[in-house]
Chains A and B, each alone.
Chain A
Amino acid sequence: MENTMRFAKVSFAGRIKSMLKVDFRRMFKSKLFYILIACALVIPILMTVMMSMMDGSVSVNPQTGEETIMQGPENTWQNIGTLPGEPLGGDEIFMMCNINMAFMGVAVFVCLFISDDFRSGYAKNLFTVRAKRGEYVVSKTVAGFLCGALMLIAYLIGSVLGGAIAGLSFELHGLNAGHIVMCMLAKICLMLVFVSIFTLISVAAKQRAWLGICGSLGGGMLLFMMVSMITPLGSTVINVALCAAGGALFAFGLGAISKVVLKKTSMV
């Protein structure tokens, strides 16, 4: 009997393909993914319609007697980015509650997605047969990025629907459809920055989902205000290039750190 064993090598492309296949299969079977996409679609509709209904209503401060007139949205695109000539962050109503919330929503997805691997013990199965930690990080980052991109697109669709239902203006104030496309592309590229941060925090937190979510939301908040500055409605190809470069830089840099974290720590 021959006293040797031959083992077939699986190429990097083959390994990453199978890992992505698993992650996409899991993502598209996960309720959380559909809940987040549904939220991204419904929130802008509800918010736009409700704020439009409240437009012009007067609220009185019972202590001072001061009257405040509620101001509803005027333009559909305020949900997406800052219109030219407006202060950064957009209209007061949409200052915080706009498409950029998707960056926070994806934090929840990435943290739960990764912590589930460790909580269920799936990580044990995976890391026994797939020794390369870097591939795991790449796969999770890509899955998170895809989820984030889909959330952004859902939010855009929701905003347009909400604007149409509320009868808001679709006036672009000197901009054109190309700017909106560039704005969306810039946000999608910027999503990679956020997803890389969330992935790093999640692999460090492992099965402690609460720690991952708190850390990711905290870390995300530090960069959150920057999003509207980098990706205004009047974005051009330069904004997209900057966001793509930032995304690539963060993905490589933080991905490498995530890999080291996984390598140096226990998987169980």
Chain B
Amino acid sequence: MNAIEIKNLSKNFGPKQAVCGLNMTVPMGAIYGFIGENGSGKSTTEKMICGLIPTGGGSIKLYGKDYTDESVRAKMGVLIEAPGCFPGLTVFDNMMLQAENLSIPDAEQEVIKVLKQVRMEGAAGNKYKNCSLGMKQRVGIAMALLGNPTLLVLDEPLNGLDADGMRIMREVFADIVADGKRSILVSSHLLGELQKVATHYGIIRHGKMMVEMTADELDASCRTYVALQSAEMNRTKMLLGCKYSRVEEDEAGYIRVYDLTTPEEIVTYLYENGICVTELYTDKIGLEEYYIDLMKGGK
């Protein structure tokens, strides 16, 4: 059984097709990184999963049940766009409202527990409107964690978080999926951060799923490259460009030669042409580059 199973989902906003025949599978126990450009249909899909906007067609199943099923929905945690808090109430009061909505027994203890989890226990008495952006985001995440949810749907949860906040999030995510049954659907533009936690990926474009893969599959399909620096960078680049199909200079000032795992060949070739390599390493492209490649239409 999958945590989320979407078949042929569609949604139109007037003449604009936001989601178009989307198929998506989030396995149980997965941290599913949902990636796409702005306006690609990520948030719309998430809102439909959460029942916040009516679907335009297709089916959504959560743990094998229809997405409108009360019992499944009661075990969902959600953070979409901004946390839903009343500005005039304190963080604690806002949390208590959601705890009561979820009929959590011993709500106060549960609220304190999740606030501690996101290191916000010290700000529980602050009015929500006086919280900083990062604090608000933490409150939103804490709210989503209330009641030990089986399925978390998080839209850009990492926005506004500091380094410590991101580390906490990674720990929280790992804790949640540790039992192999609970799942997280998380969309984020911070692909580097997402790559540290995600076990599965789905890349959406123009409302359609382009590719779904596991982290291992991504790793296997990511291109390897040799990065190097030399005393004569321009000549090196020109020489390598004549011999290899894809040679690029990266932001750090290294020349990258793709789809090559043996650096000896390059070193020999450059040495024969009178160029001395000063620094060299081999690596694989990350999720971010894979995604950019995919968006460009590359492999």
The smallest beta-carbon distance between B156 and chain A, in angstroms, is: 14
Contact, CB under 8 Å: A22 / B97: yes
CB contacts under 8 Å to A, within B61-108, are 63-65, 68-76, 78, 80-89, 93, 96-98, 100-103
Contact, CB under 8 Å: B52 / A25: no
Q: Which residues of A contact B69 (CB under 8 A)?
A: 7, 131
Q: Which residues of B contact A268 (CB under 8 A)?
A: 47, 52-53, 80-81
Contact, CB under 8 Å: A25 / B97: yes
Q: Which residue of chain A lies nearest to B181 when distances are taken between CB atoms in the complex?
A: A5
Contact, CB under 8 Å: B85 / A122: yes
The smallest beta-carbon distance between B15 and chain A, in angstroms, is: 17
With A10-B74, A120-B86 in contact, is A125–B98 under 8 Å at CB? yes
Q: Which residues of B contact A29 (CB under 8 A)?
A: 89, 93
CB contacts under 8 Å to B, within A216-247, are none
With A3-B28, A127-B52, A268-B52 in contact, is A8–B84 under 8 Å at CB? no
Contact with B along A133-175 (1 / 0, CB 8 A): 0000000000000000000000000000000000000000000
With A5-B181, A29-B89, A131-B73 in contact, is A124–B84 under 8 Å at CB? yes
CA distance A265 to B51 in the complex (A): 11
Contact with B along A106-127 (1 / 0, CB 8 A): 0000000000100011111111
Contact, CB under 8 Å: B52 / A266: yes
CB of A95 within 8 A of chain B? no
- Pick the residue among A1, A7, A128 that contacts B180 (CB under 8 A): A1
With A22-B101, A29-B93 in contact, is A124–B53 under 8 Å at CB? no
Contact, CB under 8 Å: A125 / B74: no
Q: Which residue of chain A lies nearest to B1 when distances are taken between CB atoms in the complex?
A: A3
What is the interface residue range for chain B against chain A?
A: 35 or more
Given contacts A7-B65, A7-B71, A268-B53, 11 further A-B contacts (CB under 8 A): A10-B71, A22-B101, A121-B81, A123-B84, A124-B80, A126-B84, A129-B101, A129-B102, A130-B73, A131-B51, A268-B81
CB of A4 within 8 A of chain B? yes
The smallest beta-carbon distance between B65 and chain A, in angstroms, is: 8
Contact, CB under 8 Å: B78 / A128: yes
Contact with B along A249-268 (1 / 0, CB 8 A): 00000000000000111111
CB contacts under 8 Å to B, within A49-108, are none
What is the interface residue range for chain A against chain B?
A: 35 or more
**Total A-B Cβ pairs within 8 A:** 116
User: Could you list 21 A-B pairs, sorted by A, with CB under 8 Å?
Assistant: A1-B180, A4-B1, A5-B1, A7-B65, A7-B71, A7-B72, A10-B74, A18-B101, A18-B102, A22-B100, A25-B100, A29-B93, A121-B84, A124-B50, A127-B50, A128-B51, A129-B73, A129-B101, A129-B102, A130-B101, A267-B51
Contact, CB under 8 Å: A7 / B74: yes
Judged by DSSP, the binding face of B is loop
Contact, CB under 8 Å: A5 / B53: no
The smallest beta-carbon distance between A168 and chain B, in angstroms, is: 40
Contact, CB under 8 Å: B84 / A120: yes
CA distance A29 to B94 in the complex (A): 12
B65, B70, B73, B81: most-surrounded residue (chain A CB, <10 A): B70
Q: Which residues of B contact A25 (CB under 8 A)?
A: 96-97, 100
The smallest beta-carbon distance between B76 and chain A, in angstroms, is: 6
Q: Which residue of chain B lies nearest to A135 when distances are taken between CB atoms in the complex?
A: B70
- Pick the residue among B53, B64, B74, B76 that contacts A267 (CB under 8 A): B53
The smallest beta-carbon distance between A122 and chain B, in angstroms, is: 4
CB of B297 within 8 A of chain A? no
Contact, CB under 8 Å: B70 / A10: yes
Q: Which residues of A contact B84 (CB under 8 A)?
A: 120-126
CA distance A239 to B80 in the complex (A): 49
With A10-B70, A120-B87, A130-B73 in contact, is A125–B53 under 8 Å at CB? no
